[in-house]
A and B are shown apart, each in its own frame.
Chain A
């Protein structure tokens, strides 16, 4: 039987060097007895020396866990940890065996430590000690469940770099001063001031943020166990707050509704003017504002905004698409998403300058179906297209284009009022009521949806040809 005596409980480096030596020497866990941790252990037994050149490789995750778990107060921990690494050296999959009893223990112990660390990050309360060399100084007394000071101090260093501080625990202390972190022996509560001027404000805040109508004491105690209360300045207020809660709620319920604050009318904002009558629209700008407020059909309920057409009033060609997509809906402008990108390239190829065209849609609000983090485009119904023709007709009346290019079937319906296949209309110019010409083609998003590349290239060519035809017809 080997005996290992650890001088300092919870010292990972010391345990690791001992464990390394034992592992390299092939000493089985049942042949080792681990002792120590400052309990006046006798120093007999064999010194453990690492066998040269026989480092055993272990999964990195296991070493990280061991570094935490060694802080556990359970005196069996050094021995149990050694048993786990002994097995892990022979079974690389060990940590993944979540149903193994020892792995289960290891994970449980690790969880306890991580929780303790997290709670220490949360519940340390600094008190101001003074100021030295232009730096504020703070000190805190804390009693963690395990020996975790070294696991937590770096967190406080990263967070409170700009001030000096000390955290004193029963086992050890950490001091951050002159930009250096040092550790020292444990201490007592009376080394730290017993109050701080800001604590009154903190307790006031704690009392005011509590909602007496939703008392849930168990939920509070599950996350802030009573063992921490003695070092939390706000905890002394828990009992009085709870005692008064029911009465406060009762008072709210019983108090008759009072008269409105006499200053209400002076303070209240005016509700913005109701919709200007659609018929009053006199310019394209006014039209865009009216479109944004449109409630002629329910599509406005979930869209961000109504997206009106865009382009010069004197444009000779008007391009009509189907409806705004995700990007158009967010930005409030037509053809700025992926389909707009395709359109821009095709326009350029066809020798058309986008800035001189009027671009709009048959339907002004985005119709979609939410799917997780995305909005899936949905085709507008003929009813929705027909209702929205109100706006398209107004745009046509303002711009009076010589030629209208409809992109896709919805646009064709929007412009003509009739459903027809693009195929039957394509390739020729049609005369619209009022004298404008019509060129019907596909919607650019059709090209984006085609999986077959060669067919997509052909379709794209035909699309550009349609745009060239439109340019020539309008010339």
Chain B
């Protein structure tokens, strides 16, 4: 294959892959090439090797094996009925590109996905083959993220889990209705079954590791960086509440590490029933904040929705603040005495700031001056906290508290 042809295919197949938001290379096992004498390492923390002007990190070589696809999902640039230019890499070409990029320190590894060609099983086999060549023939120790093709044989998923650090199956649209009208070939129950087989694979590997006999070799790890998924925001009529409901069901049922929310962004040769608007970036941002509240701040979905209206999160202020404004009776919180769980509910305090407060207050009472060193902004905290040198008085319950935080309308227009 000539160098020019590779460049052309790369342009088509990277362009086709960019609508998948995930680019994480973190959270996997520690390993390196010291023993194997090959190349590659993963050290827990992911590395973003570059940033595109869209502000997104470039950590992995994110490409499709092919953008030919027998599915016809309306929101997808690669759907069967799209007139987009098509290309297909051979597994060897993807391996070559991955190694060439990796040796120059451009990337942490590979994120390989594909359009569905011939059948779900055939497509999955091709993806697994790329990972197998990298791991077995080239002793590649870098990060590999494989897309699992929903509906592929569980045996193939089990194999994929042995080579890959992360597996992901995209839900794409959060509701049954959305999927059936926009992605007729995708079935939510098939997607959930595939996620279930990934979880079973991971659980089995953990059981095998626990019950191994002393002195016996450690059984292989199964997708140590776990599984993730993505939902498209703003392509269909699903509300934030539907999206978060699906997200919390997936987190609880299949132990997902991450749910990615991707604002629907216009694609070339778009289907006529989709909004040709700017991507709802602020909505996407609020969903990520809500997702963080679910995972790290002890919030339940129903609580987050207390600060929402009509099933949609407030775009003007963040979801924790929106909740707090509805729940003024929970405030103010005493910085020096409140348990960690309560501190986490204070608008303006993140997990790191809370950890620092809890550590620092063991050594003496904290006043506003101390808080200024421990947090990003004390001003935001004022209505919600008590310190020896500060009491909010009537501020907590004042009617114009929301206006204090909400930016003037013209700024909102910019943010969108």
Contact = CB atoms under 8 A, between A and B. Distances in A.
Category for how many chain A residues contact B: 35 or more
Given A202-B101, A232-B50, A93 B363 contact: yes
Given A155-B43, A159-B33, A210 B253 contact: no
B276 interface: yes
B81 A261 contact: yes
A227 interface: no
B105 interface: yes
Given A163-B103, A201-B10, A252 B268 contact: yes
Interface in B349-377: 356, 359-360, 362-363, 366, 369-370, 373-374
Contacts of A330: 196, 199-200, 253
Interface stretch (A62-70, A216-224, A380-388, A426-434): A216-224
Contact of B10 (A93, A204, A253): A204
B82 interface: yes
Given A99-B366, A123-B49, A220-B51, A304 B192 contact: yes
B146 interface: no
A269 B34 contact: no
Contacts of A249: 266
A241 B249 contact: no
B266 A213 contact: yes
A200 interface: yes
Nearest to A270: B185
B40 interface: yes
B81 A215 contact: no
Interface stretch (B14-22, B157-165, B396-404): B14-22
A140 B105 contact: yes
B263 interface: yes
Contact of B189 (A215, A216, A241, A300): A300
Contacts of B82: 261
A96 B54 contact: no
A373 B265 contact: no
B251 interface: yes
B105 A217 contact: no
Interface in B42-61: 43, 45, 47-58, 61
B18 A208 contact: yes
Interface string A115-146: 00010011111111000000010101000000
10 contacts: A122-B47, A122-B48, A159-B32, A160-B33, A201-B97, A242-B53, A253-B266, A261-B81, A302-B253, A370-B301
Interface of A: 93, 96-99, 104, 118, 121-128, 136, 138, 140, 155-156, 158-163, 196-202, 204-220, 223-224, 232, 234, 238, 241-242, 245, 249, 251-253, 255, 257-261, 263-264, 267-269, 271-272, 292-293, 300-305, 326, 329-331, 368, 370-375
Given A122-B50, A214-B281, A304-B192, 6 more contacts: A98-B360, A200-B3, A205-B61, A214-B279, A216-B53, A304-B195
